[in-house]
Amino acid sequence: MILGFQYLPAGRLMLFGPLLVAWPFVRALSDGQRLGTALRAARDFAGELPEVVRRRRRVFRERRIDMAEFRRSLAPPLTRGRGARRGLPVRRVEAEGGELPVDVVIVSWNGRDDLPECLSALQRSTAPIRVLLVDNASHDGSVEYVRAAHPWVEIVAQEENTGYAAGANEGLRRSRGEFAVIMNPDAVLAPDYVERLRSRLEAAPSIGIAQGKLLRLSPADFRADAARAGGTLDSAGHLIPRSRRVFDRGQGREDGPEFAAAASVFSASGAAIFLRRAMWEDVAPDGEVFDESFFAYKEEIDLCWRARWLGWEVAYVPEAVAGHVRAWAGKGLPPKDRVSAAARRHSWKNHYLLMLKNDRLSHLLLHLPWVLGWEVARQGYALLRDPAVYPSYVELARLVPGALRRRRDTFSRRRVEASEMRRWLGGRPRPLPPAGAGARARAPLATTTSSSGAVSG
């Protein structure tokens, strides 16, 4: 009875609930037992009901399949009975050859204009994929369009705009394969983008996160077939200098030999980021892969920084090509005229959250002139050009306790030396480990953590 109440979907529970309640009495009477035995069983179940409800909520919050598939699992399999005798195919999650498809999660808010080309590009994928659209309460007809024009896409319609981070987490909770792509609707992937990144990660178990070569597209050039090598770069991975001003490598430059080789980069762009399940389950055992307090902007940098502390590699793979329309870079206008004030405030506060959660105090003190120099420049720009970002400090103050808790968790489990992380703070890419290099040992380093969250070791 507990199993039924804990795991059956609501519809089936309403249908079979009376039977579940009556079953102890039926079984007791059929076995010749007294009615009191069944009453005691019902009393014990009533006592356990609050815990059963709590476990049920957790299971359904973290589920990775939709209800339709679960209902099919309650029916007899087609390998038996009349369906099998008629030669009907057995439905499988795997693609041909038993290979699990890569889950492609599109996190969208009012992306109706971009979705036709984005989805058309995905239809040409040379690798088996399963596409999920996580729609953050769009009001531009995005969901209706995808349901009508692309019924092969699985839709997760959110009731409110939960942000990129929470939308990506929702998609990952529903994923099934060993790999996933999280992307924006304003990106188009080359047909072999997923295949090339999957091959690279399968050959190198230490790589947990990757991205391809992202080329900058204008809105007029945004087409399903626009992802071709050559042109202006949007991102060849993120690098982090001593100032902590994370930047996209190669952004705005012409594609050339410098960006033709695979490299290890500090972090990967969230426009089309490729993830290994083993990595995200390791980095976020609680299921919050992308920190939802970021809402949007820089959450993928936070994920990569945490993954690096746990020994995972982040790769730039230039053979995988995608195109991206970047709102921050469009039309020659300053950011405050291109992006909403709310979005700019999130980006502003997230700069501090990144350092609060992931940076070492000794590293900050070592690079203090560069960190302060960038901070002075930021404050000067905000005072003169964009004072609308200052209310973000109120939200930042509210988020500090949670950020410190997450910091302590990351540093208590870190697997790399501080000296290794410090080498990344010079703003340069590094060579990738050779193909076939194994993942880092899972034992955390011996560390000492102070009550403030500062870590030594």
Chain segment 121-130, per-residue pLDDT in tens: 999 999 999 9
| Full residue range of the structural domain in which residue 53 is found | 2-61
Domain-embedded: residue 222: yes
Tokens of 40: 């005691």
Domain-embedded: residue 203: yes
Distance between CA atoms of 22 and 34, rounded to whole angstroms? 15
Summarize pLDDT for 49-67 with one digit per residue, the tens.
777 667 776 666 666 665 5
Does residue 116 register a pLDDT over 60? yes
Whether 200 and 315 share a structural domain: yes
User: What pLDDT, on a 0 to 100 scale, did the predictor assign at position 99?
Assistant: 73
Whether 241 and 373 share a structural domain: yes
Give the mean pLDDT of 80-88: 33
Whether 38 and 176 share a structural domain: no
Summarize pLDDT for 147-175 with one digit per residue, the tens.
999 999 999 999 999 999 999 999 999 99
Distance between CA atoms of 294 and 281, rounded to whole angstroms? 19
Domain-embedded: residue 67: no
Whether 121 and 49 share a structural domain: no
Domain-embedded: residue 199: yes
Summarize pLDDT for 315-374 with one digit per residue, the tens.
999 999 999 998 654 444 455 556 889 999 999 999 999 999 999 999 999 999 999 999
* Contacts of residue 165, Cβ cutoff 8 Å, sequence gap at least 6: 290, 291, 292, 293, 294, 295, 296, 299
Q: Which residue type does 107 have?
A: V
Whether 236 and 376 share a structural domain: yes
Of the given ranges (15-24, 107-116, 335-344, 421-430), which has the lowest mean pLDDT? 15-24
The total number of structural domains in the chain stands at: 2
Chain Cα centroid distance, residue 304? 11
Q: How high does pLDDT run on average in the chain?
A: 84
Give the mean pLDDT of 218-242: 92
Q: What is the DSSP letter of 267?
A: B
Does residue 39 register a pLDDT over 80? no
pLDDT tier, 228 (very low <50, low <70, confident <90, very high otherwise) = confident
Distance between CA atoms of 7 and 13, rounded to whole angstroms? 9
pLDDT tier, 73 (very low <50, low <70, confident <90, very high otherwise) = low
Of the given ranges (186-190, 252-256, 325-329, 409-413), which has the lowest mean pLDDT? 325-329
Whether 55 and 114 share a structural domain: no
Whether 144 and 274 share a structural domain: yes
- 393-402, long-range: CB within 8 Å, 24+ apart, which pairs? 393/349, 395/345, 395/349, 396/349, 396/352, 396/353, 399/293, 399/349, 399/353, 400/356, 402/293
Domain-embedded: residue 89: no
Does residue 89 register a pLDDT over 80? no
Give the mean pLDDT of 244-253: 96
Of the given ranges (80-84, 108-112, 203-207), which has the lowest mean pLDDT? 80-84
Whether 153 and 21 share a structural domain: no
The helix/strand/coil state of 436 is coil
Tokens of 91: 């439905």
Whether 57 and 112 share a structural domain: no
Summarize pLDDT for 255-278 with one digit per residue, the tens.
999 999 999 999 999 999 999 999
Of the given ranges (65-69, 83-87, 132-136, 343-347), which has the lowest mean pLDDT? 83-87
C-alpha pair distances (Å), 354 with each of 301, 302, 441: 8, 6, 25
Integer Rg of the chain from CA = 25
Give the mean pLDDT of 23-41: 60
User: What pLDDT, on a 0 to 100 scale, did the predictor assign at position 122?
Assistant: 97
Domain-embedded: residue 76: no
Whether 47 and 116 share a structural domain: no
> What are the φ and ψ backbone dihedral angles of 89, each rounded to 5 degrees?
-70, 150
What is the percentage of the chain residues whose pLDDT exceeds 70? 72
pLDDT tier, 229 (very low <50, low <70, confident <90, very high otherwise) = confident
Quick one: CA torsion of 227, 231, 237, 238, rounded to 10 degrees? -130
- 86-116 exposure pattern, b = at least 16 Cβ within 10 A, e = fewer: eeeeeeeeeeeeeebbbbbbbbbbbbbebbb
Give the mean pLDDT of 300-318: 98
Give the mean pLDDT of 104-133: 96
The more confident residue out of 313 and 441 is: 313
Whether 112 and 52 share a structural domain: no
Whether 42 and 187 share a structural domain: no
The more confident residue out of 305 and 91 is: 305
224, 188 in Cβ contact below 8 A?
A: yes
What is the percentage of the chain residues whose pLDDT exceeds 90? 68
Question: Taking CA 113 as the corner, what is the angle to CA 110 and CA 114, rounded to the nearest 5 degrees?
Answer: 90
CATH of the domain at 147: 3.90.550.10
Domain-embedded: residue 81: no
C-alpha pair distances (Å), 184 with each of 187, 188, 219, 248, 325: 6, 9, 14, 16, 10
Of the given ranges (223-227, 315-319, 376-380, 442-446), which has the lowest mean pLDDT? 442-446
Summarize pLDDT for 384-398 with one digit per residue, the tens.
999 999 999 999 999
- Global pTM reads 0.76
pLDDT tier, 91 (very low <50, low <70, confident <90, very high otherwise) = very low
User: What pLDDT, on a 0 to 100 scale, did the predictor assign at position 63?
Assistant: 62
Give the mean pLDDT of 292-304: 96
Domain-embedded: residue 107: yes
